[in-house]
Structure 1
Amino acid sequence: MTTLLSVSRTLERCTVLGPGSRAVVWVQGCPLRCPGCVAAETLPFDGGTIRSVPELADWLCALDGIEGVTFSGGEPFSQAGALAELLDTVRDRRPDFGAMAYSGFRHEALRRGGPDRIALLDRLDLLVDGPYVAARHGALRWRGSDNQRLVPLTDRYRSMLDEPDTSAGVELSVDTDGSLSWAGVPPTPGFRGQLEEQLAARGFVLRTEARREP
């Protein structure tokens, strides 16, 4: 039986959600409801687009010039088994493919969370853990509030954690239909609402629905 994932959207290339240039997969569905979440459209478990592991693996393996993939959401560890299988499938063809994930749960809790979550942790190089806390918002690298941690799970990115801990910012892209999408961790609170207001005043629509890369 082919393993399936519920995906909110994907991005072929991003430089603000992890080391180097990497693909991003935002999964659909999160059991947490962190106030101020910048990706509220990814929270419901209904919605999103059903993608198969072989399809996503083919997509990732066909991308040139990327360091690896970042899993965000949504809550990646709600679909941990499928994501672990995806990494295995990709690494059969690209053994040196890096992997990073975000989670609203702490690393210690994930380690107690069952075999699927442990399997995904064992395949990741870097984890950003902990819920977003608006009152502790900070302009930090790859994360939104100072309670969240960068947890190295292999040595692949460990040396990078000694670099200055400053925001990587956000990246904007305009799609062929004229709508706009963005990726990254906003350095200031309330970023999304302010962005939507400014874009609307200029005739742009912020894309929130599932988006598939060709």
Structure 2
Amino acid sequence: MAEVTGLSVARRLDRCTVLGPGVRAVIWVQGCPLRCRGCVAAETLPFEGGTAHTVEELTDWLCGLPDIEGVTLSGGEPFSQAAELASLLDTVRARRPELSAMAYSGFRYEALRRGGPDRQALLRRLDLLVDGPYVASRQHGLRWRGSANQRIIALTGRYADVGTEPDHSAGVELSLEADGSLSWAGVPPTPGFREGLEERLAARGFVLRAEERREA
């Protein structure tokens, strides 16, 4: 793998139940080379910005979280920081081997398999992958994904039965931050969710931090 220098992170969340199996921590990385029309997290697309974290910092954070089943990697585009995330999963599992790993990618699984060694290394460390670009015209209330072209792919036996479970929206979660602002996570089941939610909350005096995963 390429030399690991650290990760650019848009946001972290300690606990989430709508972006993968069980209770999960979530890391949204900063930066994506794709520009899916209707992306609900446009703030994560530029490679500029984000907060720099070392692998060691994120490992300590993840390993210190009680009662989580695993970590979900989103963004932005996780496979744009594949070497760093593969290294992170290695260091986390050296301390907590029971934690599972899931990632979102705007690239198709077949393309990632043909990609460079860093992308292949990250794939080998994942239990689940949601692949494919978000397509607004195919928006649908599906489990953990925004449009019907996207797939949930089990890469290990841990979640081999995921394809047999009900395929309906897991919804979204709102979190009240210490500063009084709101953030949210999840996959909106309908188009225009972000805009509508922002308008309704703003009318009631709330500030929304909609740093949700990119639907791609």
Give the AA of the match of 1:197: E
Using structure 1 for the length normalisation, give the TM-score.
0.96
Deviation at 1:2, TM superposition (A): 6.4
1-side partners of 2:112 and 2:19: how far apart? 21
| Shift in CA distance, 208/182, structure 1 to aligned 2, threshold 3 Å | closer
Using structure 2 for the length normalisation, give the TM-score.
0.95
Q: Which runs of 5+ in 2 are unaligned?
A: 212-216
2-side partners of 1:152 and 1:2: how far apart? 27
Deviation at 1:161, TM superposition (A): 2.1
Asked if the contact 2:4/2:84 (under 8 Å) is kept, the reply is no
2-side partners of 1:99 and 1:161: how far apart? 17
Aligned to 1:212: none
2:75 counterpart (63, 73, 76): 73
1:95 counterpart (97, 120, 124): 97
1:193 counterpart (195, 202, 205): 195
Aligned to 2:7: 5
Give matches, 1:105-120, under 5 Å. Answer: 105-120=107-122
SS of alignment partner, residue 165 of structure 1? coil
Output one character per residue of 1:38-61: Cα deviation in whole Å (capped at 9) or x when no partner.
111100000000011000000000
Aligned residues: 210
Asked if the contact 2:14/2:24 (under 8 Å) is kept, the reply is yes
Asked if the contact 1:77/1:103 (under 8 Å) is kept, the reply is yes
1:150 matched to 2:152: yes
2-side partners of 1:124 and 1:13: how far apart? 19
Deviation at 1:22, TM superposition (A): 0.4
2-side partners of 1:158 and 1:37: how far apart? 29
| Shift in CA distance, 137/43, structure 1 to aligned 2, threshold 3 Å | same
Which structure 1 residue ranges, 4+ long, deviate > 2 Å from structure 2? Answer: none
Asked if the contact 2:134/2:150 (under 8 Å) is kept, the reply is yes
RMSD: 1.3
Aligned to 1:82: 84
2-side partners of 1:84 and 1:3: how far apart? 12
Aligned to 2:57: 55
Give the AA of the match of 2:40: V
1-side partners of 2:100 and 2:61: how far apart? 15
Aligned to 2:214: none
Output one character per residue of 1:75-95: Cα deviation in whole Å (capped at 9) or x when no partner.
000000000000000000011
2-side partners of 1:2 and 1:62: how far apart? 22
Asked if the contact 1:41/1:208 (under 8 Å) is kept, the reply is no
Asked if the contact 2:194/2:210 (under 8 Å) is kept, the reply is no
Asked if the contact 2:184/2:210 (under 8 Å) is kept, the reply is no
- Percent identity, aligned pairs only, is 76
2-side partners of 1:159 and 1:81: how far apart? 28
Give the AA of the match of 1:151: I
Asked if the contact 1:2/1:52 (under 8 Å) is kept, the reply is no
Deviation at 1:168, TM superposition (A): 0.2
Aligned to 1:131: 133
